[in-house]
Amino acid sequence: MSSRINDYNIFCVVGSDTVRNRSRSLYAEEGSREKMIGAGKMKQYTNVLDKPLSKGRQEVSLSGFAYLFSELVQYNQTQVDNIGELERRLEDAGYAVGVRVLELLCHREKGNRRETRLLGILSFVHSTVWKVLFGKVADSLEKGTEHEDEYMISEKELLVNRFISVPKDMGSFNCGAFVAGIVRGVLDNAGFPAVVTAHFVPVDGQQRPRTTILIKFAEEVLRREARLG
Amino acid sequence: MAPAVPRSGDAIFANVERVNAELFTLTYGAIVRQLLTDLEEVEEVNKQLDQMGYNIGIRLIDEFLAKSNVTRCVDFRETAEVIAKVGFKMFLGVTASVTNWDTEGTCCSLILDDNPLVDFVELPDTCQGLYYCNILSGVVRGALEMVSMKTKVTWVRDMLRGDDAFELQVKLLKQVPEEYPYKDDE
């Protein structure tokens, strides 16, 4: 039972054009019957893959999201013994979100074009992904000076951290690990494996530190990038 | 000072800060997936979701009362209307309608036109017992408990399970009179 559940049994499938998800759908054999139930009612799609993809304009209140996120963090706190584990679990949750965000946005915003260059995917994350998820582009995208494979996306205040305060005894724990997971999910599935972490960076003159998402790309990405010239 | 007029759900929703519903949907999906991996039993997941919803509800009611300026509801009918028209709109951006009142006026159904939690979601065969949106039932129960109403909230119809709408049944069990934390004569 447990192995089947680990096989992504609940998943968010996206649109009707994503072949990969169609093959994963456990409802494939049921087909796509549409039921008309009475005049004037919404068309019922039994297969979620047949529903038209939303335009992405719908909104919920920030506080609703903040409550949900706080429950996510609180639940994970009960499941772990130390901070590292907690960050890892939040990252894993974010990873799943990132995977789906990539598919959704590639289909909807970019017309199914794939990014193959490093700067391309980074600006996709920094602009498109951030704009859709958080309503604004990220504050800055920088290249690390010490290492070739490091890039940083900075944000003055991450949306997810707006209503979170970290107690002193949790040290450098950052709920931005969720966002780091989202970025890792996007990059991994776009073919740019990387290690992504979130850090607080104190800024002179500001009370709250700003958050930096540090992206460290894998060797193969840099080699490929060098080959492509 | 003029008494504050209760504001409509649309007006409040236009004034609060909003985020993209997809972030909300995907985060909720991640939560449910984590719960399924950890707990493995669908019943346990249902209970955990309800508990999480309860925790949210007891805090959400404060914000709701602060932002919406509703006056004290005279009876349960009004309460249900307020939840459907103002509450759901304010937090989820969707309205619900209230139907199926029973003769005593203690039990009704909230029908959600649109549910941002279930975009892109399909339940696989192994999880057919799962009430995916169970967090909402916990939220309503928690919020009402903080205003002295003990309720039982269950899902009657669930589109993910093949029904044609999302129907939440709210049954008022009893009104708990408010207790003062301190005795008068101490």
Average pLDDT, chain A: 78
A120 phi-psi bin (left φ>0, alpha ψ -120 to 50, beta other): alpha
Q: Which of A10-19, A124-133, A164-173, B41-50 has the lowest mean pLDDT?
A: A10-19
Q: Which pLDDT value is given to residue A27?
A: 37
Q: Cβ separation of B29 and A100 shorter than 8 Å?
A: yes
Q: B50 and B144 in contact (C-beta within 8 Å)?
A: no
> B149 - beta bridge partners?
B175
| pLDDT one-digit tens code per residue, B134-166 | 999 999 999 999 888 899 999 988 888 888 889
SS3 call for B109: strand
Residue A3 has pLDDT above 80, yes or no: no
Closest partner residue to B27 (CB to CB) among A47, A72, A76 is: A72
Distance between CA atoms of residues A166 and A172, nearest Å = 8
Parallel, antiparallel or unpaired: strands B107-112 and B96-99: antiparallel
Q: Which pLDDT value is given to residue B186?
A: 53
Residue B51 has pLDDT above 50, yes or no: yes
Residue A180 has pLDDT above 90, yes or no: yes
CB neighbours of B124 closer than 8 A, spacing ≥ 6? Answer: A9, A10, A11, A26, A27
Q: Which pLDDT value is given to residue B185?
A: 65
| pLDDT one-digit tens code per residue, A86-123 | 999 999 999 999 999 998 888 888 777 888 888 889 98
Q: Give yes or no for B33 touching A (CB within 8 A).
A: yes
Is this model's pTM higher than 0.90 or not?
no
Closest CA to B147 of B76, B50, B49, B47: B76
List of chain A residues whose C-beta atoms are within 8 Å of the C-beta of residue B24: 60, 64-65, 68
For B38, nearest residue in chain A (alpha carbons): A79
Q: Which pLDDT value is given to residue A151?
A: 92
Closest CA to A103 of A204, A22, A209: A22
Give the residue with greater pLDDT, A207 vs A5.
A207
Which residue matches tokens 């008309």?
A36
Q: Which pLDDT value is given to residue A163?
A: 87
Q: Which pLDDT value is given to residue A59?
A: 87
CB neighbours of B100 closer than 8 A, spacing ≥ 6? Answer: B107, B108, B109, B169
Q: Which pLDDT value is given to residue A113?
A: 82
Q: Cβ separation of B56 and A68 shorter than 8 Å?
A: yes
Q: How confident is the model at residue A24 (pLDDT cuts 50, 70, 90)?
A: very low
Residue B118 has pLDDT above 60, yes or no: yes
Distance between CA atoms of residues B136 and A46, nearest Å = 23
> A34 - beta bridge partners?
A45
Q: Which pLDDT value is given to residue B5?
A: 57
| pLDDT one-digit tens code per residue, A49-83 | 777 777 777 888 999 999 999 999 999 988 888 88
Q: A142 and A151 in contact (C-beta within 8 Å)?
A: yes
| pLDDT one-digit tens code per residue, B60-110 | 999 988 888 888 887 888 888 888 888 888 898 888 889 888 888 888 898
Instruction: Name the A residues in 13-52 with CB < 8 Å from any B CB.
Output: 13-14, 25-27, 35, 37, 41, 44, 46-49
Q: Which pLDDT value is given to residue A217?
A: 92
Q: Cβ separation of B27 and A97 shorter than 8 Å?
A: yes
* Mean pLDDT confidence for A28-43: 37
Based on the number of CB atoms within 10 Å of its own CB, is A23 exposed (0-12), middle (13-18) or buried (19 or more)?
exposed
Distance between CA atoms of residues A63 and A4, nearest Å = 35
Q: Give yes or no for A67 touching B (CB within 8 A).
A: yes
Between the two ends of chain A, the Cα-to-Cα distance in Å is 48
Residue A15 has pLDDT above 80, yes or no: no
Based on the number of CB atoms within 10 Å of its own CB, is B88 exposed (0-12), middle (13-18) or buried (19 or more)?
buried
Distance between CA atoms of residues A175 and A163, nearest Å = 11
Question: A62-228 — its CATH code?
Answer: 3.30.1380.20
